[in-house]
Structure 1
Amino acid sequence: MPYMGYYGIDMYYIVLVLPCVLFAFWAQSQVNGTFNRYSRVMSRRGLTGAQAAQAVLRANGVTGVSIEYVAGKLTDHFDPRTNTIRLSASVYQSTSVASIGVAAHEAGHAVQYAVGYSPIRLRNAIVPLTQVGATAAMPLILMGLVLNFGVLIKVGIIAFALSTVFQLVTLPVEINASRRALAAIGQTHMLDEDEYGMAKKTLTAAAMTYVAALAVSLAQLLRLLLIFGGRNRDDR
């Protein structure tokens, strides 16, 4: 019979997944709070986020990258398909320490592509596969349970594992982009020492959200494996 937990309660979720979900909520609140705090601190040199991103590119000898405005809050990203850094309203024209840190981080991704940083190219290559896996995993597992068809459950778990691999590859990519950003900030002296510390705290808080996402994904994968393993033993 299928795993039902204790008195119908999924103990694997409570013990494994829930703490990671709570950690993810905490990490998201930290990044929002840290960004909001340091977005009120204007840099003494008065560089905007867009100018900071351009400075990081120049410091690394990277050319041909566009910098554009994008709507939304913290929607900043680098698009390798068009070689474009897109900065949100709270970053593009802002001279805050937090905005400079975020903009420099996105420029760090552009530098990664320019120098052929392997993990980011791997992440980009597996994106389509992981998107399909993340979408199909739970429906496949549910169908396998309803139809009592173990192969579908296995395929569903493999599909979910692909999304976990994506999170695993994403974490070092994001940490490396922040390191490149902070190195360029220090090299170009676009921030004073105390401001540098604030930018670093902003990027460290952002990195924690990726740590949390990986933790949630790993915990969920372990939960599925434990449930599936238990079901196999019950079916013998």
Structure 2
Amino acid sequence: MYFGPYFPLIIGIMLLSFIVQGYLSRTYGKWGQVRNPRNLTGAEVARMMLDENGLQSVPVNMVPGNLTDHYDPQRKTVNLSEANFRTPSISAMAVAAHEVGHAIQDKVRMPALVLRGKMALPLSLSMNFAPWLLMLGLFIQSSGLIWVGVILFGFAMLFHLITLPVEFDASSRALAYLRERGLGGAVQADDGARKVLTAAALTYVLGFAMALAQLLNVLGMARSSDD
């Protein structure tokens, strides 16, 4: 944590993130208790959606944890948490369809998904060094090191920005499919699926907001060091 000019904004976003995480947990939990119209588990929904989109070779795996669902573009696998894999709930249906949405993006080579995939490893490595470069630069008063740290934080902000259309598009594909197949046909099911995916999307929006606030904060620190 860096006490720059935007530090209060970072604290505010952190507090808001706790609220959104609580909202996501409550929303997911509520609709996780309601069966979907066709009584299909998340694994069954994922398998059906994959097969209908020509992705028969993509397996649906069960992974440990809660809300650990994800699509792995390297292994080409849809991975669902145990609850979503086995439960025929509206939450499981919505999450499963969302992850298959990413598999479809991969199939059509969605530019934003491809770019995000190429950025993931370099970002993971660079963000291990960015804080240390920034602190070292401030300690020895090296503007060069400070600005390298700022650039790396900018890279992280760009990654989170690119993530937004990827996640929004996957949710859009999920809701469209559920409606077309009658899985979200009932008013309650459609409303529940939409609320679950919207709550999840808010976490990505806040992820971007945090990355932007951190960039502005270290940018302000860099400018102060140049004065």
Contact 2:43 2:85 in 1 (8 A): yes
Deviation at 1:81, TM superposition (A): 1.3
Q: Does 1:207 find its partner at 2:201? A: yes
Contact 1:49 1:91 in 2 (8 A): yes
Q: 1:34 aligns with which of 6, 11, 27?
A: 27
Q: Does 1:22 find its partner at 2:15? A: yes
Question: Which residue of structure 2 lines up, in the alignment, with residue 225 of structure 1?
Answer: 219
Paired residue type of 2:212: L
Question: Which residue of structure 2 lines up, in the alignment, with residue 139 of structure 1?
Answer: 132
SS of corresponding position for 2:6: helix
Write the deviation string for residues 45-71 of structure 1: whole angstroms up to 9, x where unpaired: 110000111222234333311101101
Deviation at 1:231, TM superposition (A): 1.9
Deviation at 1:119, TM superposition (A): 0.5
Question: Which residue of structure 1 lines up, in the alignment, with residue 174 of structure 2?
Answer: 181
Contact 1:164 1:214 in 2 (8 A): yes
TM-score normalised by L of structure 2: 0.95
Distance 1:19 1:158 in 2: 24
Distance 2:6 2:199 in 1: 28
Paired residue type of 2:217: R
Q: What is the aligned length?
A: 225
Question: Which residue of structure 1 lines up, in the alignment, with residue 71 of structure 2?
Answer: 78
Distance 2:105 2:215 in 1: 29
Distance 1:10 1:223 in 2: 5
Structure of larger gyration radius: 1
Deviation at 1:10, TM superposition (A): 5.3
Q: Does 1:161 find its partner at 2:151? A: no
TM-score normalised by L of structure 1: 0.91
Contact 2:5 2:217 in 1 (8 A): no
Q: Does 1:63 find its partner at 2:33? A: no
Contact 2:27 2:199 in 1 (8 A): yes
Deviation at 1:204, TM superposition (A): 0.3
Runs of 5+ in structure 2 lacking a partner?
Answer: none
Q: Does 1:151 find its partner at 2:144? A: yes
Q: RMSD of the TM alignment (CA)?
A: 1.5
Runs of 5+ in structure 1 lacking a partner?
Answer: none
Distance 2:5 2:133 in 1: 22
Identical aligned residues as a percent: 36
SS of corresponding position for 2:71: strand
Contact 1:175 1:207 in 2 (8 A): yes
Distance 2:179 2:48 in 1: 11
